[in-house]
């Protein structure tokens, strides 16, 4: 080959590589790392002293901490339904934690809804979910039917952490609600013989997913069930906390630490593959810490999982996108998990099928847009007829027999009820809430609290189908 021909080849190869990398920058990778029942206080970037989280903290260091980062509900299922659709889940009747009901096609995320995986798949992304699904166990509702090319994990709302406890082959052997915690893991539709501590296994699969899909836009939803109960950790992680005397808190710390190692490994892989500037990494918890169940801490916030006090719905929340959004910043205006869908849709340049409630956060982080992403955020707990609205620094919680108004900008712990002394503000927020309520649907299915009632109504709930 003559010299100029060789030069031409080199030139064309470079141009091709450059244009391919441009293409993938146009559609950045999206990673969501979701933890389960982790308290607001229990990450280094929110000030945790007894549980160091150097892996997770890198996301904060590389990007932005959302100090007022919310989820759309205070327990797992509805919060995940909001996150994965970018819509308030009460718009489509996902108002309760689904029951384990593998034969019920209405028990989970309705098929009218487009998941973030459906959306990003239309934009050419490779999509994967690793960990806890909890959006339906019926064959029509499983991850591979909801836009995910790959699934590694379990369909139920929680799981045992040690492989020796996975003594059911699959959900066909389940005979009650909690048997979903005991099945072998699934890889797409097939059960696998996983041998690692669950959190370590999920981390390993996440790193592997990124490694295998580095040459194309990808979406990874890494949904750890840690540090949700049952409280179970290996000696490797427990031994890191000799100074924590409370056994439950010690195990919780170990479970968070296991997640943290996984997050660290995942970020390391992004670095190795030179994908950092091409990948958004969101980190958040699905709801506030249930302090009694898992010894988490939401301080200085009031309340816990299940509440509409801040401790139930404000979560540890951070985002990195190296080279694109500022590093080491705090963003204090309210944001919500629903914004992740909207941000992904905007960056992938694809139009959502349904009307969404979130906002693309990137322009607010780069300074391209001034002001706050949201005027108001809303919550509904259908079962107890409780509502909440956050508007600027104020928050109203409305229950059948009382209302609470807080000035979060001065009282983050919600200790002073201003309801009776701020009448016009209360009235204004009540009107906004009433307008929002009109857009909501009644629940589509019975929830966790109605386990016995559901079994009574569906006597064949766990009966194996005749072959
Ligand atoms: Ca949860």
Give the distance (Å) from ligand 1 centre to CA of residue 28. Answer: 28
Statement: residue 456 has pLDDT above 50: yes
What are the pLDDT digits (tens) for 63-85? Answer: 999 999 999 999 999 999 999 99
What digits encode the pLDDT tens for the residues 369-395? 999 999 999 999 999 999 999 999 999
- CB under 8 Å to 393, separation ≥6 — which residues? 407, 408, 409, 410
The DSSP bridge partners found for residue 32 are: 221, 282
414 band by pLDDT with thresholds 50, 70 and 90: very high
Q: What is the DSSP string of 205-267?
A: HHHHHHHHTTTS-EEEEEE--TTSSS----HHHHTT-TT--SHHHHHHHHHHHHHHHHHHHHH
Provide the phi-psi class of 165: left if phi over 0, else alpha when psi is between -120 and 50, else beta: alpha
Tell me, yes or no, whether 458 lies in a domain.
Answer: no
- At 88-108, the pLDDT tens digits run 999 999 999 999 999 999 999
Q: What gap in Å lies between CA 50 and CA 134, rounded to an integer?
A: 31
pLDDT score of 13 more than 90: no
Residue 413 lies in a domain: no
Q: Are 219 and 116 in contact (CB under 8 A)?
A: yes
- The pLDDT tens digits of the residues spanning 266-320 come to 999 999 999 999 999 999 999 999 999 999 999 999 999 999 999 999 999 999 9
Cα 378 to middle of ligand 1, angstroms = 19
Question: Of 134, 159, 228, 374, which residue is the catalytic one?
Answer: 134
What is the rounded distance in angstroms from the CA atom of residue 425 to the CA atom of residue 417?
Answer: 13
The verdict on residue 428 lying in a domain is no
- Residue 451: inside a domain: no
pLDDT score for 2: 60
For residue 18, pLDDT over 90 is answered with no
Q: Which of 76, 159, 228, 374 is catalytic?
A: 76
Q: Which domain holds residue 219?
A: 27-374
- Using pLDDT thresholds of 50, 70 and 90, give the confidence band for residue 464: confident
Which 3 state secondary structure label does DSSP give 79? helix
Q: 387 in a domain, yes or no?
A: no
Domain-embedded: residue 388:
no
Per-residue confidence (pLDDT) for residue 69, from 0 to 100:
98
Beta strands (DSSP E) in 102-142 are 126-132
Structure tokens at 226: 């840690």
Q: Look at residue 20 and tell me whether its pLDDT is greater than 80.
A: no
Question: Which tens digits make up the pLDDT trace of 239-249?
Answer: 999 999 999 99
Q: Quick one: what percent of the chain has pLDDT higher than 90?
A: 93
Dump pLDDT digits (tens) for 189-234. 999 999 999 999 999 999 999 999 999 999 999 999 999 999 999 9
CA of 305 to the centre of ligand 1 (A): 8
Specify if 440 maps to a domain. Answer: no
pLDDT per position as a tens digit, 1-12: 566 665 666 555
Mean pLDDT for the stretch of residues 120-141? 98
- The alpha carbon of 19 and the centre of ligand 1 are apart by a number of angstroms equal to 42
134 carries an active-site annotation: yes
- What is the 8-class DSSP label of residue 143? G
C-alpha distances out from residue 277 to 3, 29, 172, 444, Å: 35, 9, 44, 41
pLDDT at 7: 62
CATH number, position 98: 3.40.720.10
Q: State residue 415's pLDDT score.
A: 98
Q: How far is the CA of 238 from the centre of ligand 1 (A)?
A: 22
Structural domain total, the chain: 1
User: Is 297 domain-assigned?
Assistant: yes
Q: Would you tell me how many other CB atoms lie within 10 Å of the CB of residue 190? A: 9
């Amino acid at each position: 080959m003559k010299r100029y021909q060789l030069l031409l080849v080199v030139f064309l190869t470079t141009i091709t590589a450059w244009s391919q990398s441009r293409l993938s920058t146009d559609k950045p990778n999206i990673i969501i790392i979701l933890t389960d029942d982790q308290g607001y206080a229990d990450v280094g970037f929110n000030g945790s002293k007894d549980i160091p989280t150097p892996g997770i903290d890198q996301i904060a260091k590389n990007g932005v901490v959302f100090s007022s980062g919310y989820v759309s509900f205070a327990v797992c299922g509805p919060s995940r339904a909001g996150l994965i659709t970018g819509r308030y889940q009460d718009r489509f009747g996902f108002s309760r934690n689904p029951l384990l009901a593998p034969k019920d096609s209405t028990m989970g995320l309705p098929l009218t809804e487009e998941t973030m995986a459906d959306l990003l798949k239309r934009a050419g992304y490779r999509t994967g979910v690793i960990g806890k699904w909890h959006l339906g166990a019926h064959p029509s509702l499983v991850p591979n039917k909801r836009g995910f090319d790959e699934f590694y994990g379990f369909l139920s709302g929680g799981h045992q952490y040690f492989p020796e406890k996975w003594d059911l082959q699959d959900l066909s052997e389940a005979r009650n609600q909690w048997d979903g915690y005991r099945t072998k893991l699934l890889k797409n539709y097939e059960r696998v013989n996983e041998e690692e501590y669950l959190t370590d296994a999920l981390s390993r699969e996440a790193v592997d997913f990124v490694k295998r899909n580095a040459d194309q836009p990808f979406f990874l939803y890494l949904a750890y069930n840690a540090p949700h109960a049952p409280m179970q950790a290996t000696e490797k992680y427990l031994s890191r906390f000799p100074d924590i005397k409370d056994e439950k808190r010690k195990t919780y710390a170990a479970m968070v630490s296991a997640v943290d190692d996984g997050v660290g490994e995942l970020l390391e892989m992004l670095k190795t593959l030179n994908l950092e500037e091409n990948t958004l990494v969101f980190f958040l918890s699905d709801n506030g810490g249930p302090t009694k169940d898992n010894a988490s801490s939401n301080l200085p916030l009031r309340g816990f999982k299940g509440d509409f006090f801040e401790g139930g719905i404000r979560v540890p929340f951070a985002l990195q996108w190296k080279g694109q959004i500022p590093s080491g910043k705090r963003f204090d205006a309210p944001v919500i998990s629903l914004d992740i869908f909207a941000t992904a849709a905007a960056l992938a340049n694809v139009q959502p099928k349904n009307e969404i409630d979130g906002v693309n956060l990137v322009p607010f982080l780069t300074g391209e847009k001034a002001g706050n992403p949201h005027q108001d955020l809303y919550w509904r707990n259908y079962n107890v007829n409780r509502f909440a609205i956050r508007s600027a620094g104020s928050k109203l919680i409305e229950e059948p027999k009382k209302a609470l108004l807080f000035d979060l900008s001065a009282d983050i712990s919600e200790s002073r009820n201003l309801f009776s002394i701020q009448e016009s503000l209360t009235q204004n927020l009540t009107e906004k809430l009433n307008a929002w309520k009109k857009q909501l649907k009644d629940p589509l299915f019975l929830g966790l609290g109605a386990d016995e009632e559901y079994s009574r109504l569906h006597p064949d709930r766990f009966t194996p189908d005749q072959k």
